[in-house]
Structure 1
């Protein structure tokens, strides 16, 4: 694993192996509410082995760059979506799986109005708001059993601005 990650812009194509970018880009699928509301339909692949979808509110402390990342986690039982409740950027760190361990990490920076949905089992960093309130709506699996695996990195990864 590299010892440094440079934040790159979050795009749907770059993030596709890890999940979905949640935003209102492109043309809406349809207009609703007598034409006063644009619906961008079905923007995320929400998946659960069992349990049910729940919506929680997370309030994370803002972090500064450079940031020393020491922990990655994943959720084997269900996807997890983070929808910011402000227009402030946050860092998104993901990694591929290599026989139960994270490998080839990447770091993204969100644009205003973007959220993410991590697919089930995708390694990701902790919630990293960089400014603002740190307030997020989170859609994830609510149910019995362990749905969290953590991996402590052997050496910190420094996450830096471009």
Structure 2
């Protein structure tokens, strides 16, 4: 079983899979409300598909114990799915260009970063770390099946020492 490296989550590295949602100088932002508030504008391409609508939910994720084996992936072919952390905790994001262990990438998402998976992006379900964590999830509701799951032929392992090193970067 191969070990999965953990990369920092950046807009550029995550672009093939969707959007990073965060307040930064790299995105369009401007003052509103008489200068009392800074608006970080249009951070994700939310896509409900032609026959769907965007819904807001809270997902409460149990922390994953490491080492953790990535053995499956899912995708939502009809719409995007955005995760925004609510508890100020880091979490992991595993994505792939294809449902195969060799195509996996793992990102350390900091507590101030959300992700928006583009429609059809292969990803692992929520990977909370350290403690029970809540996420605001914006995704599609509508007709038709919108979740494909696949079991990987080969698994990849997320090791605690690799996570510890990624957190020091």
Unaligned residue ranges in structure 1 (runs of 5+): none
Residue 15 of structure 1: aligned partner:
14
Q: 1:71 is paired with a residue of what secondary structure?
A: strand
C-alpha RMSD of matched pairs (Å): 1.5
Q: Compute the TM-score of the two structures, normalised by the length of structure 1.
A: 0.91
Residue 79 of structure 2: aligned partner:
78
Report the structure, 1 or 2, having the larger helix content.
2
How big is each residue's C-alpha offset from its partner over 1:75-120, in whole Å with a ceiling of 9 and x where there is no partner?
A: 00000000000210100000003xxx44511000012200100000
Given that residues 15 and 21 in structure 1 are in contact (C-alpha distance below 8 angstroms), is that contact kept between their aligned partners in structure 2? yes
C-alpha distance in 1, partners of 2:65/2:114? Answer: 19
Is 1:6 matched with 2:23?
A: no
Residue 35 of structure 2: aligned partner:
35
Unaligned residue ranges in structure 2 (runs of 5+): none
The alignment covers a number of residue pairs equal to 158
Q: Compute the TM-score of the two structures, normalised by the length of structure 2.
A: 0.88
Matching of residues 54-133 of structure 1 within 5 Å: 54-97=55-98, 101-102=99-100, 104-133=103-132
How big is each residue's C-alpha offset from its partner over 1:21-52, in whole Å with a ceiling of 9 and x where there is no partner?
A: 11001165211111111100000011132210
Alpha-carbon shift at residue 155 of structure 1 (Å)? 2.9
Alpha-carbon shift at residue 13 of structure 1 (Å)? 0.4
